[in-house]
Structure formats: C-alpha cells, structure tokens
C-alpha cells in the first residue's frame, strides 16, 4: 500500500503542476500575445476611451430610443455579467407563459404590430445573449425611429448594415453595435 | 426569426458526423500506438522516462486487475483530498482577485466528488464562488486526471479482452501519464488557442466595470478546451457553454461539439485495432452512431415543432427560452445531443426549458447509460458491458455457448456486466424515489418537476453533470446523495469492468468455428442497439411517461 500511495502522490503532484499551472499559464501567455483583444474579453471603449462593454455580451437597453435585446433572467439584475444564467422555466410553466404575455403586451404598447419573434420575448440561456434575430430588430424599427425622430428608412438601413447572415443560424444583429451606430447617426443629425 | 431549414440542417449534421468519424479513425491509430508501444524516441520520450523515474515505475511493470484498480483508486483518492482542501482554503490562497471565500463543506464535498468522477455536476456558480486558482489548479487538473483515468480504464479493459492466458492488464501510472502527455495535453493546448481566437477569454484580470455592468473575467479557454475534450462539462461560468465568453460564435459551438465527441468516438476503433479486426470497432461505432442519429433527429424535430402555448400568445418561431441566437437550432440540437450522449454535461442551452420531448432526449441518452460515444473511456467500457449482455442473450436464444472474441462468457463475466449495466439505473430509481418523498426542491410545477428530479439523479449517477437546472440542489440531501450517486456510478462499473477484463485475460481463445456468433456483423450491432434500448426502456419507461410524455400531452392539449 505504501508504494502505490507514494507513486500516486508524486504523479499527482507532477501532473497537477503541468496541467493546473503550466498549461493554463502557457495558454494565457500565448493567447495574450496572439489574440490580445479576444483574450481580455473583446472589450470596446467609447469616445472618452472608457470601457463601455464587450461586443460579446448583451446589455440591458430599456430606453425607447434604443433597440432592446433579449429578455435576461440573470440573478439580481438583468444582464448581470458577473452571474450568468437562464430562467430554467419549463415549457408548460404558467410563470413562463405569464412572463411572455407581459413582454408581448409591453411591445404592443410600444407600437409593435404583427407576430413577435420568439427571441424578443423569451429569455436567453446565458442571460447575456448579445444578439437578436433580424426580425426582432426590424419589428422595433418604427418605435425606435419615432423616439429618435429619424426617418424609418434610415433606421432600417442601419439595421440592415449591422445584420450578419450566418449559415444554418439565420440573420441576426448585435444589439450593442446597432445601438452605437444609432447613437452616431443621431449625432450627425445634431440630436439623438 | 429565420425559420430553420431542416434539409440543410440534416446535411450539415451529417457532414459534422462525417468529420467526427474522419478524425476519429486516424486519431485511433495514434492512440493505439501511444498505448501499445514502448517509450517513444526524442524529447517526449525523454520527458516520459523522466516521469517514470520520478515516481519509480517502468512500462514493463504491469499489474493484474486488482493492482490496477487499487492504483487508480488511490490516485483518484488523492485528487479528491487535494481538491476538497483547495475548495475550503481558496479564500486564503493567491490568484483570487474577486476575493471569494471558502466553499461551505457540503458543497465542497459535492464539487470535489463531482470533478474527480468526471461528472462536473455544479451546485455553485463558477464566476461567483471559485477563485482563479481553484478553476486552474483544482477543476482544470481534475478535468485532465479524471479523463486520463477513464482512458486508462478503457485501455486496460481492451487489453484484458484481447490478451490471452495472462493475469496482467497494464500499468496504471504509465497509462495515466501517457493519456495526459500524449493525448489530452497537446489537444487541449491546440483547442484552447483555437477557442481563444474565436473570443473565449483567457486572462488573470480582475473583473471589469463597464457602466452598470461588472464583467467577470478569468482563465476560461484553457479550462473550456479540456472540459469538452475530457467530457467533463463543468463550466467556468454558471451558464456554461451558453455564456458568450465560453462559446462566442456558431463556429466555436461546432468546435466544442466536435471536441466532446472526438476521444469517445476514437476508442471503439482503438479496440478494433487491438483485436486486429477493425470490423469489431466499426460494429461498436455503428451501435453508437445509430442511437446518436435517432436522438439528434428526435430532439431537432421536437424543438422545430416548438411550444404551441407560446405560439398562441402571438409569438412566432421556435421556443427560444434558454437558447442563444448565435447557435441556431442546428447548433443547439447538436450540442445538446453530443453532451448527453457522452458524459460531458456542458450545455449551450438550458435543458430545463427545452420542449417536453426535446428535453426527454437528453434525459433518455443519459439514462441509457451514456454508451452513445459515452464518456472518455467510460463510454467504451460501459458499452462493452452491454455487448457482453447482448452476446449472452443471443447465445441463449440460438443455443450456443456465448463467446466474445473467442473467449467463453461465464458466470463471473455476466455478473460484472450486469453490475456495469444496472448500477446507474438502480441509483437513479432509488435516489429519485427518496427525493420525491422529501419536501420539494423543484422549480417547475406538474410533470416537469418530476423530470427535473429524475434528470438530476440520472445526470449524477451516470456522471454527466448537466441538469434541468431550475432544481434547487443546494440542500444537504442533494449534496450527500449526489456525492454518493456520482462516486458509486463512476467506480462500481469501472471496477466491475476491470474485473471482467482480468477474468477474460486469463482465458484461452478458441478460433471461430462455423457456429460462432459474429460480434462484428451488422446484425449483431442492431441486436446490441435493441438490448440497450430494452434495458433502458424497461427500467425507465414509467418515469418518462409520468414526466416528459405527460407534460407533452398537457402542452399540446393546451394545459
């Protein structure tokens, strides 16, 4: 028994150092040099060079002059980037159906007509989904254009410019990028 | 939402499986060489020899099945003690920019058993509760070592089945060392960098404040790669591979699903090469592939049909609760199938929110014993248990002595195969029975609550680690019963299969005669599928009927 125990301790110590210290540090070093932007979180800075977020993480846009992203069920607050997670509500749970009903109602009140894309009223798995489908962006165009006092065509053109077509996924839009483009457009017009 | 295109998605899924198979074949040749040869030449060989000198062993110093089992239990025991201690002490240790405190002892016990047994069931949220040191030197280490343990057991079982008239099945220290140095580590390094290029983060930075958001950081890519490659599945973040920092793009998602399947898909072919008949490897692979394709098709179809209750509210498209836009239905279905066909348990969508039948598929794949590719190593040795049972039943039916690879299947082999096949099922039924009698931990009402509970014990007993995560598994019952399920579910089948291998190794092989049942034929592969479905179906049909099937009927009936 003594011999296997000694061997186990030695082999464990050795492999733990290799896989638990050397390997992650090597990846940190190489990724930091080869992909510095990605390795540090794909963070983007605003005009004053302060970090405004990550292109990979959604944010909680609630103002009427912004496109809103997916509902988020992260703990404490929506789009909590230090505690991710989904609602885990089952498909027949009355709470889920109540939530969806409420969100549909809110969109209707904001002037959204027609069928509502599911991704706009159902919470993402991570609670940090940065994307919405193209349809989910397009249904918001009239309301956002009105809040910004911009022509609908211009806002729609912005959406189309931000749309990414991904094979076997469909066409989707990064909400943070879209809203930033919208802000830039607003500045050109001397307002929002 | 752009509606999914089933034909295009089917073609893409077929291409994906073709890629997995195409990679598994040459990779199996490599694995076979790693474990059958002596110490290799050049620098890797010198490193390997240095390791053996350091711990005082040589590849020639082989053990019988008892010695092999003892060594792996001692090795895993040390892994458990160290991880448990690390979880309790992390607050006082370095690489902790978030200043997180110790795990409470019960959670630490559950988590340590979970990572040592390759389960990676998580009742804590990674980004909230674990320091970077814990993630690296605790969880990442066990991701490697539990996978290496699984591969070693599988290789030892293959040796036992193919060797003749010996009582030796290998040297665990050598097998574990080779699994890490030649297989897992190089692949993980490449995969981690590939994932980092897609946007998976890898840093030791403190969390970043951006307006109202505080963004958790950490060494994610290095853990992500091995978590998939080793079919571990424990997420750096609570949302696991649904989190954009773990799985940022449609491409990273497919890479991750590929990594989950790679090693388990190669092992049947390694076995084929060891027996000298690739047909034998193909037969086992075909069993896995048939069930995988059926499961993927079922999950995809169920999700495509969507949730009519939500549709009635004026909502269009498939149910998106718990899903991410960037993966699409194809990516979500491929990932969910791959992670539960194997013992991975990483998720890129919340399984709790899948449609009733869509969620039944992952549950069923886990309940079948994770033999569809299965865990790294454990998938192979568990399906071997099923193959032995299939040989035995077929032998009884056609009135011949049951033989596998020319060796007689006798009482010892059957006992061990039955232990392997039935242990997880017994654990699931007993423990979810007890759980049902206790005050509720379920998050969802009705039949879905039952599904949550059954899924939890299925996941832990079969070392998967995914969850219908609404379930509140933080109480002492789930911590302790869960730890028991994970430990017994891991080691009872492993030890039984090593015993089976030890017994088979001592036998002589009789050359096949005209009356020998071929275990490499398509007919036998189909028969094995039937046995797997029969055992799983008979054990779990009532539970599935009362859980997901009942919920499906409620859903289409309008609740």
Q: For chains A and B, count residue pairs whose Cβ atoms are closer than 8 Å.
A: 366
Reduced to 3 states (helix: H, G, I; strand: E, B; else coil), residue A51 is: strand
CB within 8 Å: B55 and A14: yes
**pLDDT number for residue B242:** 98
Q: What CA–CA distance (Å, rounded) separates B21 from B264? A: 11
A64 touches chain B (CB under 8 A): no
Paired sense of beta strands A116-117 and B315-316, if any: parallel
The answer to whether B235 and B246 are in contact (CB under 8 A) is yes
Per-residue pLDDT at B216 exceeds 70: yes
**pLDDT number for residue B559:** 60
Per-residue pLDDT at B416 exceeds 70: yes
Q: Nearest CA of chain A to the CA of B330: how many Å?
A: 7
Between residues 96 and 115 of chain B, which touch chain A (CB distance below 8 Å)?
none
The rounded percent of chain B whose pLDDT value lies above 90 is 91
E-only strand ranges, A69-184: 116-117, 131-133, 164-166, 170-174
Mean pLDDT of the B15-36 span? 97
CB within 8 Å: B222 and A24: yes
Name chain B contacts of A41, Cβ cutoff 8 Å: 201, 203, 205, 208, 215, 217, 245
Q: What CA–CA distance (Å, rounded) separates B343 from B376? A: 8
Which residues does B230 contact at the CB level (< 8 Å), separation at least 6? B118, B143, B144, B146, B147, B150, B184, B263, B376
**pLDDT number for residue B441:** 78
CB within 8 Å: B316 and A172: no
Q: Tell me which chain B residue has its CA closest to the CA of residue A123.
A: B321
The domain spans of chain B are 385-540+548-556
A133 touches chain B (CB under 8 A): yes
CA dihedral B77, B80, B82, B83 (to 10 degrees): 170
pLDDT tens, position by position, B457-491: 999 999 999 999 999 998 899 999 999 999 999 99
Q: What is the DSSP string of A57-75?
A: S-----STTS--------S
B352 touches chain A (CB under 8 A): yes
CB within 8 Å: B82 and A86: no
Interface test with A, best of B80, B248, B321, B330 (most A CBs within 10 A): B321
**pLDDT number for residue B442:** 82
B243 touches chain A (CB under 8 A): yes
pLDDT tens, position by position, B107-148: 999 999 999 999 999 999 999 999 999 999 999 999 999 999
pLDDT tens, position by position, B504-521: 999 999 888 877 889 999
In which residue ranges of chain A is pLDDT below 50? 1
Q: What CA–CA distance (Å, rounded) separates B244 from A44? A: 15
The answer to whether B147 and B228 are in contact (CB under 8 A) is no
Terminal-residue alpha carbon distance, chain B: 26
CB within 8 Å: A28 and B310: no
Q: What CA–CA distance (Å, rounded) separates B22 from B305? A: 32
Q: Tell me which chain B residue has its CA closest to the CA of residue A108.
A: B314
**pLDDT number for residue A187:** 80
CB within 8 Å: B1 and A129: no
CB within 8 Å: A43 and B317: no
**pLDDT number for residue A2:** 59
The answer to whether B290 and B525 are in contact (CB under 8 A) is yes
Between residues 134 and 193 of chain B, which touch chain A (CB distance below 8 Å)?
136-138, 140-141, 144-145, 148, 173, 176-177, 180, 185, 188-189, 192-193
CB within 8 Å: B469 and A31: no
pLDDT tens, position by position, B374-384: 999 999 999 99
A29 touches chain B (CB under 8 A): no
**pLDDT number for residue B460:** 96
Between residues 452 and 481 of chain B, which touch chain A (CB distance below 8 Å)?
452, 468-470
Q: What CA–CA distance (Å, rounded) separates B73 from B549? A: 40
Q: What is the DSSP string of B420-444?
A: HHHHHHHHHHHHHHHHHHSSP--SS
The answer to whether A19 and B146 are in contact (CB under 8 A) is no
**pLDDT number for residue B147:** 98
Name chain B contacts of A92, Cβ cutoff 8 Å: 309, 356, 446, 448, 551, 554-555, 559
pLDDT band at residue B2 under the 50/70/90 scheme = confident
pLDDT tens, position by position, B257-296: 999 999 999 999 999 999 999 999 999 999 999 999 999 9
CA dist B112 → B120, B179, B224, B264, B374 (Å) = 9, 21, 18, 24, 22
Q: What CA–CA distance (Å, rounded) separates A74 from A69? A: 14
Q: Tell me which chain A residue has its CA closest to the CA of residue B307.
A: A91
pLDDT band at residue B401 under the 50/70/90 scheme = confident
A10 touches chain B (CB under 8 A): yes
B227 touches chain A (CB under 8 A): no
Per-residue pLDDT at B440 exceeds 80: no
Mean pLDDT of the B98-110 span? 95
CB within 8 Å: B145 and A12: yes
The answer to whether B226 and B202 are in contact (CB under 8 A) is no
**pLDDT number for residue B417:** 97
Q: Tell me which chain B residue has its CA closest to the CA of residue A46.
A: B210
Structure tokens at A175: 């909400």
**pLDDT number for residue A185:** 87
Q: Nearest CA of chain A to the CA of B373: how many Å?
A: 25
Which residues does B342 contact at the CB level (< 8 Å), separation at least 6? B231, B260, B261, B264, B370, B372, B373, B374, B375, B376, B379
Tell me the pLDDT of chain B averaged across its residues: 95
């Amino acid at each position: 028994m003594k011999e296997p125990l000694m061997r186990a301790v030695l082999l464990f110590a050795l492999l733990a150092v290799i896989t638990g210290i050397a390997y992650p540090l090597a990846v940190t070093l190489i990724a930091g040099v080869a992909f510095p932007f990605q390795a540090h979180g794909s963070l983007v800075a605003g005009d004053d060079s302060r970090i405004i977020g990550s292109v990979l993480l959604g944010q909680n846009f609630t103002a009427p002059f912004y496109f809103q992203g997916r509902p988020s069920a992260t703990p404490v607050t929506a789009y909590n980037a230090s505690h991710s997670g989904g609602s885990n509500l089952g498909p027949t749970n009355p709470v889920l159906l109540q939530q969806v009903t409420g969100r549909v109602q809110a969109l209707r009140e904001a002037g959204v007509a027609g069928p509502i894309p599911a991704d706009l009223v159902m919470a993402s798995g991570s609670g940090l989904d940065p994307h919405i489908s193209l349809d989910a962006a397009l249904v918001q165009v009239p309301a956002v254009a009105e809040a910004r006092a911009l022509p609908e065509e211009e806002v729609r053109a912005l959406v189309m410019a931000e749309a990414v077509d991904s094979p076997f996924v469909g066409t989707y839009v990064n909400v943070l990028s879209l809203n930033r483009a919208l802000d830039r457009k607003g500045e050109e017009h001397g307002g929002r | 939402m752009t509606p999914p295109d089933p034909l295009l998605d089917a073609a893409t899924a077929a291409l994906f499986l073709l890629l997995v198979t195409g990679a598994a074949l040459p990779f199996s040749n490599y694995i076979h060489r790693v474990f059958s040869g002596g110490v290799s030449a050049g620098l890797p060989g010198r490193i390997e020899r240095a390791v053996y000198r350091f711990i005082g062993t040589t590849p020639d110093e082989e053990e019988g099945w008892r010695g092999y089992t003892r060594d792996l239990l001692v090795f895993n025991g040390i892994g458990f003690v160290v991880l448990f201690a690390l979880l309790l002490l992390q607050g006082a240790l370095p690489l902790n920019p978030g200043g997180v405190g110790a795990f409470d002892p019960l959670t630490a016990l559950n988590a340590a058993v979970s990572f040592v047994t390759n389960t990676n069931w998580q009742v804590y949220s990674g980004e909230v509760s674990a320091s970077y040191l814990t993630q690296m030197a605790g969880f990442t280490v066990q991701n490697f070592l539990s996978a290496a343990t699984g591969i070693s057991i599988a290789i030892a079982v293959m040796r036992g089945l193919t060797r003749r008239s010996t009582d030796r099945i290998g040297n665990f220290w050598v097998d574990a060392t080779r699994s890490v140095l030649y297989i897992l580590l190089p692949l993980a390094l490449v995969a981690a960098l590939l994932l980092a290029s897609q946007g998976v983060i890898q840093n030791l930075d403190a969390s970043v404040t951006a307006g109202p958001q505080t963004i958790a950081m950490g060494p994610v890519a290095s853990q992500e790669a091995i978590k998939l490659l080793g079919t571990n599945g424990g997420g750096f973040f609570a949302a696991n591979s649904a989190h954009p920092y773990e799985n940022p793009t449609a491409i990273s998602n497919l890479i991750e699903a590929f990594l989950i399947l790679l090693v388990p898909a190669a092992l049947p072919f390694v076995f084929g090469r060891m027996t000298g008949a690739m047909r034998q490897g193909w037969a086992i692979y075909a069993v896995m592939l048939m069930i995988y394709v059926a499961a993927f098709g079922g999950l995809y179809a169920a999700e495509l049909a969507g949730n009519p209750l939500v549709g009635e509210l004026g909502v269009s498209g498939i149910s998106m609760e718990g899903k991410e836009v960037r993966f699409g239905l194809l990516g979500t279905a491929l990932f969910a199938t791959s992670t539960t066909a194997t013992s991975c348990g990483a998720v890129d969508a919340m399984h709790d929110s899948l449609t009733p039948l869509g969620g039944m598929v992952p549950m069923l794949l886990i309940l079948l014993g994770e033999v569809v590719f299965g865990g790294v190593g454990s998938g192979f040795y568990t399906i071997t248990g099923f193959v032995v049972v299939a040989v035995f039943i077929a032998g009884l039916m056609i009135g011949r002595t049951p033989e596998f690879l020319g060796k007689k299947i006798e009482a010892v082999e059957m006992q061990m195969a039955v232990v392997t096949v039935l242990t997880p099922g017994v654990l699931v039924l007993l423990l979810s029975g007890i759980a049902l009698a206790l005050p509720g931990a379920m998050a969802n009402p009705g039949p879905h609550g039952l599904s949550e509970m059954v899924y939890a014990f299925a996941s832990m007993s079969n070392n998967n680690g995914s969850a219908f995560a609404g379930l509140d598994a933080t109480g002492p019952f789930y911590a302790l019963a869960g730890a028991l399920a994970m430990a017994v579910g891991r080691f009872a089948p492993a030890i039984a299969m090593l015993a089976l291998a030890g017994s088979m190794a001592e036998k002589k092989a009789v050359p096949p005669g005209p009356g020998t049942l071929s275990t490499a034929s398509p007919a036998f592969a189909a028969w094995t599928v039937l046995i797997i479905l029969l055992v799983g179906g008979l054990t779990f049909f009532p539970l599935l009927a009362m859980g997901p099937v009942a919920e499906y009927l409620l859903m289409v009936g309008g609740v």
